[in-house]
Amino acid sequence: MENYKIKLYGFNNLTKTLSFNIYDICYAETEREQKDYIAYIDEQYNSERLTKILIRVAEMIGAQVLNISKQDYEPQGASVNVLIAEERISPENIDKSCNQGKPFFEEIGIDKENMKKGNTSQDTDTVHAHLDKSHITVHTFPEYHPDNSISTFRVDIDIATCGEISPLNTLNYLIDSFDSDIITIDYRIRGFTRDISGKKFFTDHNITSIQDYIEPEKLKIYDAIDVNVYQSNIFHTKMLIKEIELKNYLFNQDVYEIAPKKRLEITDRLRKEMIEIYSGMNIY
């Protein structure tokens, strides 16, 4: 059945929540390299860059940014919070406590007026975006194993929207924004709305799998499985990268300086770490 515009009685009261979670795995051999890796990740994905990503997400779902709060943490990690609106809001109807993106828009050179009109293409460690009908948050969690030289970097992004906005069309952009070895995605629709005859609708768009919203070329890189509860409008997809090219996982090391036997050992460690995270259990 094709999607169609439902004539509603009152507001669209459906809540759509997308949780996007990625892990990036790295081999950093010495304690010094591990700490340097954490510092590198902390700099690469600081609150400034994460905010740009969230602003781009808000733009993609057609939302107006009302307020931004962001924080970098010690010793590592960051968060961002963005308040957004589904449609253009008259300034006199916006609470004075909302900064409408100030001073962040000025800091990164985004023309706020163009942003409101949807004419900007500019993009943004934990970030939380608030909308009048929804919010966007991002959190980062860099860490390293104390014994086996494996470091992991996790990013959690949550997009909660109400009304007609659906965050599913941001998936390909989010996958491109991070180096992702494992991806877990949850999508849930809650609540209901009514048409003009009083009939309840528990969803306003067709969905059978989150994978339908991911570009086929991206899916080819991963092994992916679904765990869906259709009756409850709950959808879950997890993805594990298929191939490990060792040179892409070494921090401050040249793969050709490592003996072939050790290359295999490192690759096995990386794959074990990925499988444990993907399956949610330790392997002994």
Q: Which residues are catalytic?
A: 134, 139, 162
HSE (CB half, 13 Å, CA atoms) of 25? 26
Residue pair 85/164 in contact (Cβ under 8 Å)? The answer is no
Place of tokens 């009908």: 133
Q: Is the CB of residue 72 less than 8 Å from the CB of residue 105?
A: no
CB 256 within 8 A of CB 263: no
3-state secondary structure of 64: strand
Q: How many CB atoms lie within 10 A of CB 106?
A: 11
Question: Which tokens in the block code for residue 48?
Answer: 């400034």
15/159 Cα distance (integer angstroms): 10
